[in-house]
Homo-oligomer: A and B are copies of this chain.
Amino acid sequence: MSKKVGSDIEIARAAKMQPIEKIAEKLGIPEKHLFRYGPSKAKIDLHYVDELRSRPDGKLILVTAITPTPAGEGKTTTTVGLGDGLNRIGKKAVICLREPSIGPCFGMKGGAAGGGYAQVVPMEDINLHFTGDFHAIGMANNLLAALLDNHIYWGNELGIDSRRITWRRVLDMNDRALRSIVASLGGVANGYPREDGFDITVASEVMAIFCLATDLNDLSRRLGNIVVAYTRDRKPVYARDLKAEGPMTVLLKDALMPNLVQTLENNPAFIHGGPFANIAHGCNSVIATTTALKLGEYVVTEAGFGADLGAEKFFDIKCRKTGLKPSAAVIVATIRALKMHGGVAKEDLGKENVGALKKGIVNLARHVENVKRFGIPPVVAVNRFVADTEAEMAALKQACAELGAEAISCTHWSDGGAGTEELARKVVQIAEGGKANFRTLYPDDMPLWDKVRTIAQDLYGAQGIIADKKVRDQFAEYEKAGFGHYPICMAKTQYSFSTDPNLKGAPSNHVVPVREIRLSAGAEFVVVICGEIMTMPGLPKVPSANFIKLNARGEVEGLF
């Protein structure tokens, strides 16, 4: 860990990438099924994806995390590192990650393709337009919006109440000016003025649908089911009423092919889809995960935010809907973050503090317990920092042993796959031990309100949930309208088990206030919003865009 590690972009540029055909060959994908985007990116033909369906599945490993600090605890780097580690110990492992959003790259510095020696490449491409998937998703979202306003313009046969339109437009850009607008101004030719707004593309329900669809037919069916508005007498208006699912599917047909790239160690990685982890489920596409499971012995994937949000949605939404059965879960922790949960201030995190660490382990303990509730055996990956001391690591190892989840030191950031070999061996031991017995937290037929209460009580340690009558009525309305069997998609702060981001550790007896619920009828879940959720970020005072340019060698500067 004392080794000098260059910047992410320096390391990425120094990478010796293999032609993408070679990476595909490792998985046995014939070249004719590759749809190449330059020398080091390719999409995989959906016909080939279909042909794979009869094959047996590899083992699925979820990488999740403790309640994070704002810097994140290293889920993506650990996912990449574990994939490389598994390959190093002779397992054919494939990584599945989300695609990063382009908009935020121009706000805060930093890409989203791992870091240090645990990265996926070509990093600039992945962080910029990549293979155009998000542009296609944005187009599909905005075509639906245009068809909706066009319908109203030409006579509004469906009787859409323009005050009850729920479908918003999107851009893959941090642009606060578009959060709330009045559209269709300027006279008769421009339509009927109404309130509207833009979200960032990753917040589109089309993104969530894209990531849950099992094939093009399922995609089309789900797109048709989107509720875009209500009539004056509150009947839902669906995307299919606007005949929108056909052209939306056409716009998405290429995007739905999973994207293959490689790690710095030339191991295969699928990077496909990237829904928000609050108002959506925060996992890469089902198509990429299921395809990877047919091609690899091991598939390592991650889910957004800490395990209370990410793992719960991975299990209760993605696995429930698709029959995926994970074999193990890796909970990423850092000694820094655990000390923070133990009450240490940010500026003191660099100092050894075994007492605070032990106190903060309550946060990890609850995540370990939570993962076990789903029948999945956990292992703790300690993402090591230079300032971590041996005494701290020893204390953490002992505490984890008591929790029944081994803690393993990982140095993938500085050492690549060599730094996760021990973790890889442990993961194989668990997965091949066959101890996993996946179950969802709640059954489909539990009332929506009770599903939310179950999540809050069993996973968050809450006393219960509360909501205004208006919100409670909405639960009842959704059930009456036939959406009661949907799973819940919780939207709350990722910085605490509670809805108060300042409540660190493992708070108990708090109450979870449900502020609002929203229907994602295409994605097939009910979004439960507990707190402020920002679906269109803004740019900071000094955006990273100010420093981004091509240098004299034609390389991108300032993006990472």
Contact = CB atoms under 8 A, between A and B. Distances in A.
A410 B195 CA distance: 53
Contact of A539 (B147, B174, B545): B147
Interface string A540-557: 010101111110001010
Interface stretch (A32-40, A226-234, A296-304, A360-368): A32-40
Interface string A141-161: 011011101100111000000
A14 interface: no
Interface in A528-546: 538-539, 541, 543, 545-546
A174 B149 CA distance: 11
A559 B189 CA distance: 26
A175 interface: yes
Contacts of A246: 545-550, 558
Copies in the complex: 2
B145 A175 contact: yes
Contacts of A220: 549-550
Which of A39, A174, A182, A250: most chain B Cβ within 10 A?
Answer: A250
Nearest to A539: B150
B173 A253 contact: no
Contacts of A250: 128, 548-550, 556, 559
Contacts of A272: none
Interface stretch (A131-139, A423-431, A491-499): A131-139
B154 A541 contact: yes
Interface in A169-193: 169, 171-186, 189-191
B184 A177 contact: yes
A173 B142 CA distance: 8
A102 interface: yes
A452 interface: no
A154 B145 CA distance: 31
A375 B251 CA distance: 45
Contacts of A549: 220, 245-247, 249-250
Contacts of A195: 185
Contact of A180 (B37, B132, B173, B185): B185
A142 B171 contact: yes
A539 to B, nearest CB: 4
Contact of A545 (B128, B179, B244): B244
A196 interface: yes
A444 interface: no
Contacts of A538: 150, 153, 189
Contacts of A541: 154-155
A176 B147 contact: no
A216 interface: yes
A173 to B, nearest CB: 5
A174 B38 CA distance: 31
A458 interface: no
A169 B150 CA distance: 20
A552 to B, nearest CB: 10
B149 A176 contact: yes
Interface in A109-145: 128-129, 132, 135-136, 139, 142-143, 145
Given A149-B175, A150-B538, A549-B247, A106 B143 contact: yes
22 contacts: A36-B37, A38-B43, A106-B143, A106-B146, A128-B250, A128-B251, A132-B132, A142-B171, A143-B545, A145-B175, A150-B543, A177-B191, A179-B190, A180-B184, A180-B185, A180-B186, A182-B182, A186-B197, A189-B538, A220-B550, A245-B549, A249-B550
Interface of A: 35-39, 43, 46-47, 102, 106, 128-129, 132, 135-136, 139, 142-143, 145-147, 149-150, 153-155, 169, 171-186, 189-191, 195-197, 216, 220, 243-247, 249-251, 253-254, 538-539, 541, 543, 545-550, 554, 556, 558-559
4 shortest interchain CB distances as A-B pairs: A246-B549, A180-B186, A135-B135, A149-B177
Given A142-B173, A177-B191, A249-B550, 15 more contacts: A35-B39, A106-B146, A128-B254, A129-B136, A129-B251, A139-B172, A143-B545, A149-B177, A150-B538, A150-B543, A179-B190, A181-B181, A181-B185, A246-B550, A246-B558
